[in-house]
């Protein structure tokens, strides 16, 4: 099983969300709780998909 590191809290997760936290900036991977925080507070937030380390 693969994991990826959340670009915000630096912890490893099996599921991450591809988001933009600034308009026009590059995409980063963030965990669910960091995404929720960005969604609530960041106007530049944009959602770009889900990354899963586990294959079904
Ligand atoms: Zn995080």
- Encode pLDDT of 20-46 as tens digits: 999 888 999 999 999 999 999 999 999
Would you say 50 and 19 are in contact if contact means Cβ atoms under 8 Å apart?
Answer: no
Give the Å distance between the CA of 6 and the centre of ligand 1: 5
Q: Is 9's pLDDT higher than 90? A: yes
Segment 17-21 mean pLDDT: 96
What the block records as the tokens of 11 is: 């912890």
Give the Å distance between the CA of 31 and the centre of ligand 1: 4
Residue 4 alpha carbon to ligand 1 centre in Å = 10
**Dist CA 20 CA 42 (whole Å):** 10
């Amino acid at each position: 099983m693969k994991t990826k590191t959340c670009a915000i809290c630096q912890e490893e997760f099996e599921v991450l969300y591809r988001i933009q936290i600034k308009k026009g900036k590059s995409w980063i991977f963030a965990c669910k709780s960091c995404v929720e925080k960005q969604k609530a507070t960041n106007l530049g937030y944009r959602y770009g998909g889900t990354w899963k380390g586990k294959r079904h």
